[in-house]
């Protein structure tokens, strides 16, 4: 997309020339996955053949606001002051950038689906830094546009939306039209299910830290989550990524318990 960056150990993504002006947004190219990341398509195709429908092959993309946060802030951020300054003082510039990411990510979802992904998860990791009213302006319409665009060409592709710390935005996440809302562990599963309503599937939401506990503790947390989620439309998962140093035998135990559950 003509945004030079690198992944620096201990820092994560670092954007060499953060974007702040109309002129800089004009230099951003829309993403062509076939040209830029053909290996993603090849990997998905190979994986789908090897998995042979014994498990679902998942794709993933970043959401427009989260991608914009990285390129405006110059990388990860604690306070998100730069993107909020842009949003609140020059909203037209940010909206122009968000539109490019939206078109690009819709195309990327379609590309992954065409090459073997059976469901795609959209990560809006930083959207929860926005107040509800700002989420409705700078994230929600763009997520909805991605969903609407993809559903036109891939109506049966399941789309999952994850935003960590999203307890204050749950009802708004459902408005995007995604098939599944992934809950983090700070939301009670029963409350999340009630707030999202019967039409939206849920994913999650065992605390990743629970995997540092005993096997009995892990089993109890899994069973509690499954009981609260109910008997339908639930993908059992952690409420966030697995933590460094998690004992591998506890991860294995999580899967064994999960696979043994019978309703």
User: What residue ranges do the domains of the chain occupy?
Assistant: 5-182
Distances (CA, A) of 134 to 83, 131, 167, 171: 12, 5, 15, 15
What is the rounded CA–CA span in Å between residue 52 and residue 183?
29
Asked if 160 and 119 count as a contact pair (C-beta separation under 8 A), the reply is: yes
What is the rounded CA–CA span in Å between residue 59 and residue 42?
13
Asked: is 5-182 a CATH 3.40.50.1100 domain? The reply is no
pLDDT score of 11: 87
Q: Say whether 216 sits in a helix, a strand or coil.
A: helix
pLDDT tens track, the chain, 263 positions: 999 999 999 888 999 999 999 999 999 999 999 999 999 999 999 999 999 989 999 999 999 999 999 999 999 988 999 999 999 999 999 999 999 999 999 999 999 999 999 999 999 999 999 999 999 999 999 999 999 999 999 999 999 999 999 999 999 999 999 999 999 999 999 999 999 998 999 999 999 999 999 999 999 999 999 999 998 999 999 999 999 999 999 999 999 999 999 87
Name the pTM for this structure. 0.95
pLDDT score of 20: 95
Q: Interhelix angle for 91-114 vs 81-89, to 10°?
A: 110
Is beta strand 180-182 parallel, antiparallel or unpaired with respect to 158-162? parallel
**Cβ-proximal residues to 70 (8 Å cutoff; 6+ apart), any chain:** 5, 13, 15, 76
């Amino acid at each position: 997309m003509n945004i030079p960056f690198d992944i620096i150990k201990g820092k994560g993504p670092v954007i060499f020339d953060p974007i702040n002006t109309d002129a800089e947004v004009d230099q951003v190219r829309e993403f062509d996955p076939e040209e830029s990341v053909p290996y993603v398509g090849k990997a998905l195709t190979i994986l789908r053949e090897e998995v042979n429908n014994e498990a679902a092959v998942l794709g993933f993309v970043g959401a427009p606001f989260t991608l914009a946060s990285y390129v405006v802030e110059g990388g990860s951020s604690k306070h998100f002051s730069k993107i909020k300054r842009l949003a609140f003082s020059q909203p037209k510039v940010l909206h122009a950038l968000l539109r490019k990411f939206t078109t690009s990510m819709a195309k990327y979802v379609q590309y992954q689906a065409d090459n073997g992904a059976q469901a795609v998860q959209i990560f809006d990791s930083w959207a929860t830094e926005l107040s509800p009213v700002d989420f409705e302006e700078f994230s929600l319409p763009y997520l909805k546009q991605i969903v609407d665009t993809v559903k036109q060409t891939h109506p049966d592709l399941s789309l999952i939306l994850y935003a960590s710390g999203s307890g204050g935005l749950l009802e708004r996440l459902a408005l995007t039209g995604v098939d599944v809302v992934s809950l983090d562990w700070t939301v009670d599963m029963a409350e999340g299910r009630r707030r999202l309503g019967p039409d939206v599937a849920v994913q999650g939401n065992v605390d990743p830290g629970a995997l540092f506990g005993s096997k009995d503790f892990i089993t109890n947390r899994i069973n509690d989550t499954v009981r609260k989620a109910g008997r339908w439309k639930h993908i059992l998962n952690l409420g966030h990524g697995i933590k460094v140093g998690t004992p591998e035998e506890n991860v294995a135990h999580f899967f064994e318990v999960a696979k043994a559950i019978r309703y």
